Amino acid sequence: MVATEAMAISTVMPLVEQDLGDIWLYGWAFSAFFLGDLIGIVVGGRAADRVHPVGPLLVGLGVFTVGLVVGGLAPSMALLVCGRFLQGIGAGVVPAVAYVCVARGFAVEDRPRIFAIMSTAWVVPSLVAPLLASAVATTVGWRWVFLGLVPLTVAAGLLAAVSLRGLDGSSPGGHEPTPLVRVLLLVIGAAMVLSGLGSDTVWAGVPLVLGGLVLGVPALHALVPAGTFRAAVGLPAAVLIRGVLTCSFFAADAYLSLAVTAVRGASTFFAGVVLASASFTWTAGAWAQARLMSSWGPARLVRVAGVVLVAGLGLMVVSLIGAVPLWMWVVASCVAGLGIGLGYAPLSSVALADAESGREGVASSSLQLTDVLGMALGTGIGGVVVSTGDRLGAATGVTLAVVFGGSALVGLGVVALGGRLERSDRLVRSG
């Protein structure tokens, strides 16, 4: 349901803006979701350590549902942004709690397959949700894209609650308080950085980014495992690598459509095919790692994933050249998607295997935090490069070559840091 909402709302937002106006708030409809996501990740993961996971899950889905109602009934863009913030909080709870459920409900050797199944949950929404949302919006109105998801979310929540009844409850080690002040400082800092990255003027953007970093970095440091910033062996390295991985992939993925249409002159339909290709191979990579985990181990898998991802990003740079066949974009997207699919789930397995008993929620929320921050930071920095290139009068192809090339350099960090997972190989392979 979270995947369906993400794909559907992105599709209909242009219609929402036409109806409600206030185009200056358009980007904040997405940023507000991201900021709410940070709160839900931390609060939901840590709550699942203290009480039975079904409670935080239902509360998260309840907040998500309220956000859908607020968005569907919003008379203004400002109120819709508030609804998106609530949707983000609820959506952040779901994966954080889900990881705790995986830790308590499945043996270590089964977790790679479970994470592959979770990755598969994004495939159908990525293909169906945009088309279905477009059809709903053009027939009965965009508001029903929000409101139509309400009964489905309630039904999904009830099914999950029934399935989780037999799961173990809270653990003795999971009763530390939720650091709400640090979470709020992280959210405020992230909001400032996002505002600064999106600013049209240097005199406003630079102070916002610097101020956001001053507030957000110490808060993040306190919310992730000790040693994360220096890639300490095991869980801290997994948390850092997840952020580097998502930063590398999404910094390029967010601008694929622009490259295909504006630089190569292809249709938006073909751009959709390119983007969908990555969804398929991400899932294929997730299933491949489930089969290879016991023999390769997470360290080798992550290093190979980094190499494959960098190869895909390099192909994107090459595909900007007019003489290169257009279908090469599909190949590049497939290779990059396979790379992140191979590396994403093993990091989840490492995080749960290395987590202290009763603190799986803390480990899960740390992993999800760098996941979301890497995604947002990569997209934001890519946006800065694109807008700067536009102001300087650089060709779009040259600007996007910088974006894709920079993403590949970041991806090399995954290869370099993969060896920091060596100690976790035995834990993940044998349980």
CATH of the domain at 160: 1.20.1250.20
User: Does 5 share its domain with 96?
Assistant: yes
User: Does 93 share its domain with 210?
Assistant: no
User: Does 259 share its domain with 398?
Assistant: yes
Flag whether 429 is in a domain.
no
Mean pLDDT of 325-334: 95
Q: Per mean pLDDT, which range of 57-61, 161-165, 229-233 is the poorest?
A: 161-165
Mean pLDDT of 134-161: 89
User: Does 388 share its domain with 315?
Assistant: yes
User: Does 203 share its domain with 342?
Assistant: no
* pLDDT value at 290 more than 80: yes
Q: Which domain holds residue 18?
A: 1-175
Highest mean pLDDT among 109-113, 244-248, 355-359, 372-376: 244-248
pLDDT band for 109, please (50, 70, 90 cuts): confident
Q: How far apart are CA 148 and CA 196, in angstroms?
A: 35
Flag whether 193 is in a domain.
yes
* pLDDT value at 23 more than 60: yes
User: Does 74 share its domain with 121?
Assistant: yes
Residue range 382-419, pLDDT digits in tens: 888 888 888 788 888 999 999 999 999 999 999 999 98
Does residue 212 contact residue 199 with C-beta atoms inside 8 Å?
A: no
Highest mean pLDDT among 91-95, 265-269, 272-276: 91-95
Residue with tokens 């598969």: 120
pLDDT above 90: percentage of residues in the chain: 37
Question: What does the pLDDT read at residue 28?
Answer: 80
User: Does 50 share its domain with 162?
Assistant: yes
* pLDDT value at 54 more than 70: yes
Q: How far apart are CA 367 and CA 187, in angstroms?
A: 16
User: Does 232 share its domain with 216?
Assistant: no
Residue range 163-180, pLDDT digits in tens: 887 776 655 554 566 788
pLDDT band for 88, please (50, 70, 90 cuts): very high
Flag whether 298 is in a domain.
yes
More confident residue, 219 or 50: 219
pLDDT above 70: percentage of residues in the chain: 95
Q: How many domains does the chain have?
A: 3
Flag whether 136 is in a domain.
yes
Q: How far apart are CA 81 and CA 74, in angstroms?
A: 9
Flag whether 428 is in a domain.
no
pLDDT band for 138, please (50, 70, 90 cuts): confident
Flag whether 426 is in a domain.
no
User: Does 376 share its domain with 392?
Assistant: yes
Flag whether 430 is in a domain.
no
User: Does 217 share its domain with 233?
Assistant: no
Mean pLDDT of 68-88: 93
User: Does 161 share its domain with 285?
Assistant: no
**CB neighbours of 341 closer than 8 A, spacing ≥ 6?**
119, 281, 282, 283, 284, 285, 286, 288, 289, 305
Mean pLDDT, the chain, rounded, equals 86
Residue range 189-215, pLDDT digits in tens: 988 888 888 777 778 888 999 999 999
Flag whether 64 is in a domain.
yes
pLDDT band for 431, please (50, 70, 90 cuts): low
Distance linking the first and last C-alpha atoms of the chain: 31
User: Does 260 share its domain with 155?
Assistant: no
More confident residue, 354 or 243: 243
